[in-house]
Structure 1
Amino acid sequence: MTSHQTAQTMKPATAAKKLGVYLQATPAEFQEGVVSRAELNALQANPPAWLEELRSNGPHPRPVVAAKLGVSIAGLARGGVTEPLTTEQIEALKQESPGWLRKERATQAEVRKEGARITKRNAERAAQSDDRRS
């Protein structure tokens, strides 16, 4: 008995998310079809001009905008940023440094600091637990 393997496919929205691009900015043929795992791998390994352009200049989806600004996605929403932004718009926001952006960056820094503290504490507890077992 031989196994028949079907190609794994995904919706364009899923593929765009994995590629880190805003779906509505992709070419129509990308938006209208399905993307196989092999096609996604090919796009990642050898991106066409449209993909390189979107990655460098945008418009960028919220997760990418948040990462470029150093804030959370929720922080973007609190700051009133609900639309995709281009790289130029992101740089302008960084230069302008509005109050909400400074506040959200500080919040994000605190979250990271607390996460590091908890990770360290858990590692110390695990080490103590291992010492007791020995």
Structure 2
Amino acid sequence: MSKPKKSQMMKPSTAALKLEVYLPATPPEFQEGMVSREEFDDLQHNPPPWLADLRKNGPHPRHVVAARLRVSNSGLARAGITEPLTTAEIADLIADPPEWLVRERETYAEVLREQRIQREKE
């Protein structure tokens, strides 16, 4: 007789990264416990109100902020953006882009172009 399969578990930090939410903004019970694969799948497909709110309004983790601003994580660092931003703060930056954002978007677009050209050559 075979043993029942044990569910895979992940740390809260891993689950938050995969869910694209800022871990310190999640509820304490999420931060303090391990997340099973089944629980994670349920969070993805049936997000509770706290998760839906975090995804909609933030604060957002660095990689999400960078993606929404269309810059690299390094570009955020060069601009001195070290804290998570909310959706409203991101919208304000997009509506009236500062000089650093315009410059970093151009740099990031150029890097993406170069990567695409390199892939086409290979």
Quick check: 1:74 aligned with 2:74? yes
Q: Deviations over 1:103-132 (max 9, x none)?
A: 11001100111111111111xxxxxxxxxx
Aligned twin of 2:59: 59
Q: Name the larger-Rg structure.
A: 1
Cα distance, 1:4 vs structure 2: 3.7
Alignment RMSD (CA, Å): 0.9
TM-score after normalising by structure 1: 0.88
Length, aligned pairs only = 122
Q: Which residue of 1 aligns with 2:35?
A: 35
Residue 129 of structure 1 is matched in structure 2 by: none
Counterpart in 2 of 1:48? 48
Question: For residue 104 of structure 1, what is the aligned residue in structure 2?
Answer: 104
Tell me which residue corresponds to 1:132.
Answer: none
Provide the rounded CA distance (Å) in 1 between the counterparts of 2:101 and 2:3: 54
Letter in 2 for 1:105: R
Give the Å deviation of 1:2: 1.2
Q: Deviations over 1:65-119 (max 9, x none)?
A: 0000000011100011000000000011112211111111001100111111111
Query: Could you list the runs of 4 or more consecutive aligned residues of structure 1 that deviate by over 3 angstroms after TM superposition?
Result: none
User: Could you state the TM-score of these two structures normalised by the residue count of structure 2?
Assistant: 0.96
Unpaired runs of at least 5, structure 2:
none
Residue ranges of structure 1 left out of the alignment (5+ in a row): 123-134
The Cα of 1:3 is off from its aligned counterpart by 3.6
Q: Give yes or no for the alignment of 1:113 onto 2:113.
A: yes
